[in-house]
Amino acid sequence: MDEFELIARYFDRASADADVLIGIGDDGAVLRPAIGLDLVTVVDTLVEGVHYPAELPAADVGYRALAVNLSDLAAMGSRPRWMTLALSLREADPAWLSDYARGLFEAAQEFDVTLVGGDTTRARQTVMSIQVTGEIEQGRALTRSGARPGDEVFVTGSVGDAAAGLEILQGRSPAGKFADDLVSRFSRPTARVAAGRQLVGRASAAIDLSDGLYTDLEKLAAASGVGVELDLDCLPVSDALRRSVVGDKALSLALAGGDDYELCFTAAAGEFDELVDVAGVPIHRIGRIAPGQGIACIRDGSPYAYHDRGYRHFS
């Protein structure tokens, strides 16, 4: 099976998207977005053994590869539309490819995304880069740079679960009663696209949580030129995580664990009530924006010394 047969067998699928004028099979895709919309383009690369364990089922790898990109679009309030895939493989294993494509297209169907092109190559390890293009009403994209002193800080869902799930997958933590719940948060992250759409015009800044709450919130604060008062007692930790770890491990995972792909956002005081659902997802107020820079943590009403650099390549 050569690369062209591989593409035709696993990735060339009929599309009903009328805005795709030319899709898979030519030198490039031709797309026709509507007037009055801005295009938002994101790209992420997943490397076997770096971004996911080699033993992760292929269907989960495919789903996850798209979901992490969709999370970036969600943080900007964008509606996903089209994707391209660059896939490098050691070998063209039909069983792996079939499962991978199934997971990839499960995520694509869930969020109405069309695969319009890409590339396949032979390599020494599995590497995939997915570029996703979305659309948003002109001039309405959310950014990291809009937070202002007095704004409140919120996060969707819960944090720390995915990092706990990865530890279980890697054998660094025991597989207890809630192992399946925690592992699924890593293997099949939920992109908060619908929540991101509802934040447009209401949130002042937003970021998705890929490298850990603390370090990603630092990025938002730096982009906005502000400081953050972070209330550690308000961090949303799931019952599954609380009952699976001991001591301060849950707090550590909630602050520093990556791969949650929840949304952290800021909004003017009173714009959102704590625990009010956004697109069916619970949100929690975890702090406030303050003058200055950096993050000041508070625990039990007192300052709490904490710092974490999060995951960084090449460091």
Class of domain 152-304: alpha beta
Query: For the segment 210-233, what is each residue's pLDDT rounded down to a tens digit?
Result: 999 999 999 999 999 999 999 999
Q: SS3 helix, strand, coil % of the chain, rounded to 5? A: 30, 30, 40
Query: For the segment 1-44, what is each residue's pLDDT rounded down to a tens digit?
Result: 776 778 778 777 777 787 877 777 655 667 778 889 999 999 99
The CA R_g of the chain, rounded to the nearest whole Å, is 20
Q: In this structure, which CATH number among 3.40.50.300, 3.30.1330.10, 1.10.510.10, 3.40.50.1360 belongs to the domain 3-137?
A: 3.30.1330.10
Beta carbons of 69 and 38 less than 8 angstroms apart: no
Write the CB contacts of 121 (distance below 8 Å, at least 6 apart in sequence): 3, 86, 87, 88, 89
Identify the sign of the CA torsion 109, 113, 114, 120.
Answer: negative
- 1 or 79: which leads in pLDDT: 79
Pairing of strands 20-22, 263-267: unpaired
Q: Which of 128-142, 244-258, 273-287 has the lowest mean pLDDT?
A: 273-287
Query: For the segment 80-113, what is each residue's pLDDT rounded down to a tens digit?
Result: 999 999 999 999 999 999 999 999 999 999 999 9
Mean pLDDT of 257-283: 91
Residue among 129, 152, 110, 124 at smallest CA distance from 46: 129
Both structure tokens of 72: 């970036």
Alpha helices in the chain (DSSP H): 3-10, 58-75, 94-110, 161-169, 179-187, 193-199, 213-224, 239-242, 249-256
Beta carbons of 37 and 138 less than 8 angstroms apart: yes
Cα→Cα distances 164→21, 56, 200, 218, Å: 44, 15, 31, 22
Pairing of strands 127-137, 79-89: antiparallel
Please give the pLDDT value at position 314.
45
> Considering the entire predicted model, what is its pTM?
0.91
Task: Indicate the Cα dihedral angle 78, 83, 87, 93, nearest 10°.
Answer: 110
Residue among 202, 208, 205 at smallest CA distance from 261: 208
Cα→Cα distances 281→71, 157, 198, 276, Å: 14, 6, 11, 8
DSSP reduced 3-state for 233: helix
Q: Domain residue spans in the chain?
A: 3-137, 152-304
Both structure tokens of 126: 């599995």
